[in-house]
Structures are given as structure tokens and as C-alpha cells.
Amino acid sequence: MSENTQKLWGGRFTGETDTLMHLYNASLPYDWKMYKADLEGTKVYTSGLQKLGLLTEDELSKIHYGLNEIKREWDEEKFERHPNDEDIHTANERRLGEIIGRDIAGKVHTGRSRNDQCVTDLRIYCRDTVNEKLLPDLKELVNVMIKRAEREIDYLMPGYTHLQRAQPIRWSHWLSSYATYFTEDLKRLKQVLERFNKSPLGAGALAGHPYGIDREFLAKELGFDGVIGNSLVAVSDRDFVVELMFWGTLFMNHISRFAEDLVIYSTAEFGFIKLSDAYSTGSSLMPQKKNADSLELLRGKSGRVFGDLTGFLMSLKGIPSTYDKDMQEDKESLFDCLTTVEHSILIATGVISTLSVENKKMAEALTMDMLATDLADYLVRKGVPFRETHHISGECVSKAENLGLSGIDKLTIEQYKLIDPRFEADLFDTFNFEQSVERRDATGGTAKSAILKQLSALQAEL
């Protein structure tokens, strides 16, 4: 039997495919990951053919038996790939013919094209990956951060703008901030899933199904929320791939910023946290080093995911309507994106659940100049306009610096009154970091009550 008769498209061709062209064209080395989706889709599709009378009940039973055997082989890593297996669809159909005979196996493709078959598989694979891996893993990451924030809510640290000490906050407030980002990512992923969980199966190559198959039946049996209403769109739409990878890029942007903060906080200069040995490495030359490689990899792999998206967009942007082979580029980039994101979530969860917090170092990093805004607020409460108090507080900071004092709390009441006579002795009550954070008890603030509300709201979102 010639090579071409083994291919789903081989009857038109009499010459053999160039060896390099076969390798260039083959996608089995990476699309084998969709074997469960492919077998599931074929099971349901053949049930649809049986409803039309195009398969007998006995033929359907044999087909389903063969598909179950193939799944067992894949699950047990015993499936033998052949050189002419172009993709997962070809491989599974070839193996089905070996198990139940080619006469019956040859019927499974009746009215179906690889155009609707491959994109059906891909949508099922994406849905399963989101539901079975990304959503539960992301929920666990947020849960870990919430629990840690509740447990360590008394720890104070500097908050930063422009990477300069700004105002005191709680460590839990920092944890809550990234838990908020990741919860928004979780909600956004659910929305993406809702949009792409539509069935293209039964659209044929591009023009629709010639035997009137019940596409709504196929969609329901495969767990889709409906069908894609236009057959041209059904086979050629890859917006869901782009959107899912865009979701991955945005999530990895959040992960990268999260990692960057922790890299900074782990340095000797800051010393706010210490990473677990499980998520650190050493130096090949300097024995004293403990490197935050887990965090650096999280930061670095964000660029990889960004590249997956932009690379596929370049492949997609210029192709004409309906299916074109360029679309085969969707899988490697998508699979890499999803795997990288999944692993990044797991690593981030491991890092945040095992690091130790040096709360004394955090407290030591708090300086009185960070309460300059509180000093301005002190005068606001006495009826002075904020723009005026902002200027007055700045004068106090400048005066303390010019006198070589360690902080604005070291100025005397007489020196304060020379700057502004409305200062009273009770201004020194302002210089308390705990009271500073507790004053900010409005929704979203860094007071205990405000943080606990944030954490409770995040928990409810999960």
C-alpha cells in the first residue's frame, strides 16, 4: 500500500510526499495532547451518524469499542506512532482501522472534515485545561494568599511609589493587592471560557454538513453551550486561541510584577522576606549566594508567553477566509502558553506558601518621613485646606533635614509653631505607624477592618 493511501487526503496524489515536507507538515509531535478530545469527538460524531442511519448499531458499538481501546493505549503510553501519522486525527483513525477493520473505521469520517474536527478538538482541549487545571490552580493561589494575609495582618511595611518609600501599609494589604489581580484574572478566564465553549462540529470543510447531522445534539453531547452558526466561521475562527493567549499574557504580566516585588523584598538591602530553599538556587562560584531563581523565572517566562501571542497573531493576520494551513501554528504557541501559565501558577503558589516574612525588618524600614501626609492630615482636621497643609508639611520635612534630625518627629513644638502656629502639642500623636494605617479604614484601605473586608470579598469571588 502506498504512502498516499494512508493519508486522509491521499487519493488526489500519485507522487510521494517529500520527506522534509512530511515533517514540516506533521503536527502529531505536539497535537497528540488532544487525543482524549479527538476520541471523545469521534465517539459523539459517530453517534450522530448512527442517528442518521449512516451507521448501524453494531458498527457504532465496534467503533466505540475501538476508540476506548485507543484511549487506553494513550493513557498507558502504549500507543505506537507510525511514520505516516500526520496528526492526532490520522493516528487515531489509522489505529481504529487496525483494531476493528478499515471498512467500518472508514465510515467515521463521513461528512466530517479535519477542518471542523481539529478545531473541535482544540476547543475541547482548551475547555478541559481551563476547567481542570487553570481555574482550580488559580483559585488555590488566591486562597493561599488570603490565608496568609489573614494570618499576618499585624505586619507593617513601607508602601512604595516610584520604588521610593511612600506611606506605611500592611504586608496583608500587599498580599491582598495581588490576590485582587489574580481574582480578576480568574473572573476574566471564566468569561473567555463562556465565549469559546461553542461547537464547530458538523460544519464540514467549510460549506456545512451534506447529510443533515444534528449539530445541536453533537454540541450538547460534547458539553458545548451551543453551536457556531456559520460554517465558514466554525472552521476558521481562531479568535478563541488569541483571546485565551491574551488572557495568559495579562496574567503573566501580573505574575511578573508580583515576582519583581518579591525579588526586591528578598534582597539583603530590603530583607523583608526569605524564600524557601525549595524555590531558590545557589551560585556555581559564590557559596554564600541564595538566588531567587523561581521568581526570576516567573518574571522571565512572561516574555515567552507574550511571544506566543504575538507570534500567532502574525501568522493569523494575513490569511484569507476559512481554513488555511497557517492555522496549524495555533497549537504549539497555545500549548506552550497554557503549559507555561499552569506551571507559573503552581510555582507562585509554592513560593508564597513557603516563604518566611521578616516582619522586624519590615518595621525597621518604616521612617518618620513616611508620615508627612499624616502631618498634613492633622492640620486638615483643624480646618486648614489640604493644598496649604501639604506645603506646610513639606516645610517641616525640609526643616528636619536641614537640622540633620533623623525624622520630623524630632522637631520641637516650638519649631513646629514657627512653621505654623496652628500646630499643637497633640501633633506628636500623629507619629505612630499603626495609627496611620488604621486611619485608612475606608473601603480598599490598609486598616485591619478594610483589609478583612477585601479578603472576605475575594473569598466570595472564589
Our answer to whether residue 283 is catalytic in this structure is yes
Question: Which residues lie below 8 Å from residue 372, measured CB to CB, with a gap of 6+?
Answer: 393, 394, 396, 397, 408
Considering only CA atoms, give the Rg of the chain. Answer: 31
Instruction: Give buried/exposed letters for 330-367 (b at 16+ CB in 10 A, else e).
Output: bbbbbbbbbebbbebbebbbbbbbebebbbeebeebbe
β-pair type (356-357, 164-170): unpaired
Provide the β-strand partners of residue 160.
Answer: 165
Task: Report the distance separating Cα 46 and Cα 300, nearest Å.
Answer: 45
Q: What are 300's three cell numbers?
A: 522571565
How many helices (DSSP H) and strands (DSSP E) are in the chain?
Answer: 20, 4
**Diameter over CA atoms, the chain:** 103
β-pair type (156-161, 164-170): antiparallel
> 324: closest CA among 209, 236, 231, 204?
236
Residues in the chain: 462
* String of DSSP letters for 228-266: -S-HHHHHH--HHHHHHHHHHHHHHHHHHHHHHHHHHHH
Our answer to whether residue 391 is catalytic in this structure is no
Q: Is 58 exposed, middle or buried (0-12, 13-18, 19+ CB in 10 A)?
A: exposed
Q: What are 418's three cell numbers?
A: 514657627
Under DSSP, the state recorded for 26 is -
Given 2, 61, 283, 449, the catalytic residue: 283
* String of DSSP letters for 282-340: --SS-TT--B-HHHHHHHHHHHHHHHHHHHHHHHHTT--SS--GGGGHHHHHHHHHHHH
Give the Å distances, CA to CA, from 285 to 66, 266, 281, 288, 290.
57, 20, 12, 9, 12
Q: How many CB atoms lie within 10 A of CB 449?
A: 12
Task: Report the distance separating Cα 86 and Cα 81, nearest Å.
Answer: 10
Q: Which residues are catalytically annotated?
A: 162, 283
